[in-house]
Structure 1
Amino acid sequence: MTHLQPGLSLLLKTALRCLSFLLAFPLLASAAIAGDTAKAEILGFSKDGAYFAFEQYGIQDGSGFPYSEIFVLDVANDRWVKPSPFLLRNQNEDEIEAGGIFDPDALVTAVRSENREKAQQLLQTTRIAGKGLTAGHNPRTELNSDPFRMVVAPRDFFRPGEDELELNLNEYLLTSDTCAGIKIDDTRGFRLTMTYKGQIRVLNEDTSLPESRGCPLAYRVERIVTHFPEDGPPVYAVLIQMDTHGFEGPDRRYLAITGQL
């Protein structure tokens, strides 16, 4: 990764890059002012359900830098497995502007490939094998869905009368000294519960905001992935999509909450 070349204006270069992006993709012009929305790829569970991995990637708003972030989690303990997360952002101005053409697809593909190489050893060590069923998916484009509630059958072989799995999310104002210092006072935390087999479990209840979230403004239940290993307890991963304060408007990123059913 390199710094900006001496004598060049970051503001001018950013404006030119954003302009070329909008000219190349005119239908996205109106969406660009709302920040950027990361795409998510589920890398799945290990066969035994001990580990889960996913990636989020895209083009950063404002700078136009392509990025890839790969997270590997210890499922039972719901925490990152070091050296995860792998956070990569291409800030090489010469490479991005090669030939005077801004090709976001090519740039994102390249940074994702490089980041996958960095994460490969850990993905192999944790035996991530693409296991899991997306039991429920609530994309933002599905306008009639409830962003705060999801009810699913946790597995394919589901019969009437069996236990459903229900997720409920409540968000609330929660201040952050860091965010308040830059005049952002409407940051939020969230409480997530799971109802399954007659029990209500609290999966998350924020009392403070982790620095890794930046300045979060809103949340939604985006999807749940389940896995029923042959020799081990069933497991889940819930992806929460959050709006965070960005350069051009709210950016949308993901966080995962994992555990055993």
Structure 2
Amino acid sequence: MKVLVIGGGGREHTLAWKFAQSPTVDKVYAAPGNVGMMKVAECINLEETDHEGLIAFAKETQVDITVVGPEAPLLEGIVNDFQEAGLTVFGPEQEAALIEGSKSFAKSFMYRHAIPTGSYVVTSDYDEAVRHLEQDGVPIVIKADGLAAGKGVTVAFTKEEALASLEAILKDDKFGEAGAQVVLEQYLEGEELSLMAFVHQETVIPMVAAQDHKRAFDGDEGPNTGGMGAYSPVPQFSQTDIN
């Protein structure tokens, strides 16, 4: 079997590494990949946003399945494009990817479907955001609505920190269009658990649980990142909790 992994980050490196270990996989391609991935895959000079080029490559090399890692091409509808071209592809379609691509959409989705989540407000106006901050106080969670490479969230424990975050997002355009609006969210205290699952229609197959650590510096200090590391299993949660 031939596999094409789209992307060039740590996530895609791990996917390519695991595919290369499978006895059912004969060839792994990565587009664009990175220098480290060259040890486990043939890296192709195609950007993850080049849908037409990637589709043409998958057809030409008779790739059996394409796996999309990054959020950006998923939001741009790369899975839809591959499906329309008659190719087998793993990843959410554009409509489903919006849950990751817009925090306000995800929050409204959870509210509509009675999925427990913290209270929140959404605004694109700095003064309105400040009024909500004055009303709700700190700690508070401030999020750029769109994709910001994992760096768009501030857990503010002081008013000064919250104001600086709002100013950076709404006034200084720190995240561009991704920060056109912000989500101000209730601060929830407790242990974090990441539990993902493979989903197809009504079939749900859970993966192992993990705990992600996003702070840039030792001791859980500093700004959030896309992730400094994670571990699994998570001893703070029993299998009963996870089930």
Q: Same fold (TM over 0.5)?
A: no
Q: TM-score, normalised by structure 2?
A: 0.23
Write 1 or 2 for the structure with the bigger share of helix.
2
TM-score under structure 1 length normalisation = 0.22
**Larger relative strand fraction:** 1
Q: Which has the higher contact order (CA 8 A, sep 6+)?
A: 1
